[in-house]
Amino acid sequence: MTTVPQLSILIPTADRQDYAVSSVAAVAIACPDAEIVVSDTSAEEGLEARLMVGPGARQLRYLRPGAGIDVVSNFNRAAEASTGRWLMFIGDDDGVGPGIRSVVDWAERRQVDAVVSYGPRFHAIYYWPGVTSRYFGDGYAARLIVNRCSGKARMLDARAAMLAALRDLGSGLGWMPRAYHGLVSRDVVDRIVEKHGALFGGVSPDIYSATMISEMARKPAVVEWPFVLPGASPKSTAGLGAAQTDRSSLWNNPHIAPFRNLTWDPLIPEFYSPTVVWAYSFKKAVDATGDPSLVPNLARLYARSLLHNRAYAGATLNAMEVWGEKIGWLPARAQVLGELMGEGLRFTGKAMRRLARPTAQGAALQVVPGLPNVEQAYRALENICRDIGSLSLDD
């Protein structure tokens, strides 16, 4: 009888073989007993051969859905192929962190069904060589940045976290439980698939799935510890965001182009930026839940888009026009004006903090330079975690 693995680490990938090979190696070091699912939609062959002679080959389940499918379909195919009792999705330039197996063991003992590591700020992040920043040049490149964290666990109010993220529409997930960079039990995934057909949807799989998990998880928790190691490579969303080159027209963007028969929501500005695609996917997810109390704060999305994406102001104004017709122009304008003022204050505060700490690492606990890949970044993080203390998981 085949033994069901406790943990599946899933890595959807496309056209970034060097990163993916290092990511699998890092996971294999941290989780020698985990199932590693790689779903590869690269245009070129060769990744499977490289993975089968590297660390993690014994644990590997390699999928080749074919080039050209969209990222959401790729994530769903990986989920369908996995067999573990717990799932964690990571990017092909990410790793996992020290202590992940202890976190999964604790969650099973406590009957926790979803675990998130970080909220608005990473506990640790690795910047690959070649990453550039608009403000700090190559000040991030080839560096592991580690921030302070408590190492403690606490229960999570997933609905409150979702409502907070909806109020701050376009900024990310906040403290919502998640499958991407988080742990989710097979039971939660199965119930989401039974009710909604798939774990992932929209055009941003992390945002959509986090909404579904927030709706379905019965006992989610936070463990403030870097059991996931996000990576930022030159072509990743995080890397492009550091350089501020992550805005473009919508339909020619390589992330959006593979989606077939995509109908854009007229309430969401029709251009590509992380803020916009997160908001689109968040709205698609809450629409799918059918819960009328889950209301995205469109005014904040419009304010952010007008302030930070002036080249696409026309697209934002078009979406505002549709929204104004739905709720009335006077309340629509008043809400957007209020959010513009608030966003301006937030932007000023961020600029002041940057001036107070004018280095790439800011207030980081520790920075390790000269790391060529995420495998080496994991080893460095393991040493740091050994020095700063251990997990405080109370049973």
Identify which of 217, 208, 220 has the alpha carbon closest to the alpha carbon of residue 287. 208
Structure tokens, 272? 């590509």
Structure tokens, 49? 């051969």
Q: Give how far Cα 297 sits from Cα of 44, 171, 301, 327, 383, Å.
A: 42, 11, 7, 13, 42
221: left (phi over 0), alpha (psi -120 to 50) or beta: beta
Q: What is the pLDDT of residue 361?
A: 61
Which segments in the chain show pLDDT lower than 70? 1-2, 236-247, 349, 351-363, 389, 394-395
Helix (H) or strand (E) holding 13: strand 7-13
Give the β-pairing of 86-89 and 182-185.
Answer: antiparallel
Give the CB-side neighbour count of residue 378, counting CA atoms within 13 A. 25
Structure tokens, 188? 């939660």
Give the CB-side neighbour count of residue 5, counting CA atoms within 13 A. 23
Using CA atoms, how far apart are residues 228 and 243, in angstroms rounded to an integer?
23
In three-state secondary structure terms, 260 is coil
Q: Which domains does the chain have, with CATH numbers?
A: 7-238+365-388 (3.90.550.10), 239-355 (no CATH)
Residue-wise burial string across 197-207, b where 16 or more C-beta atoms lie within 10 A, e elsewhere = ebbbbbbbbbb
pLDDT digits (tens, 9 = 90+) for 53-112: 988 889 999 999 977 899 999 999 999 999 999 999 999 999 999 999 999 999 999 999
Q: What is the pLDDT of residue 248?
A: 84
Residue 195 phi, psi (nearest 5): -85, -40
In three-state secondary structure terms, 57 is helix
Structure tokens, 103? 């976190």
In three-state secondary structure terms, 117 is coil
Q: What is the pLDDT of residue 237?
A: 58
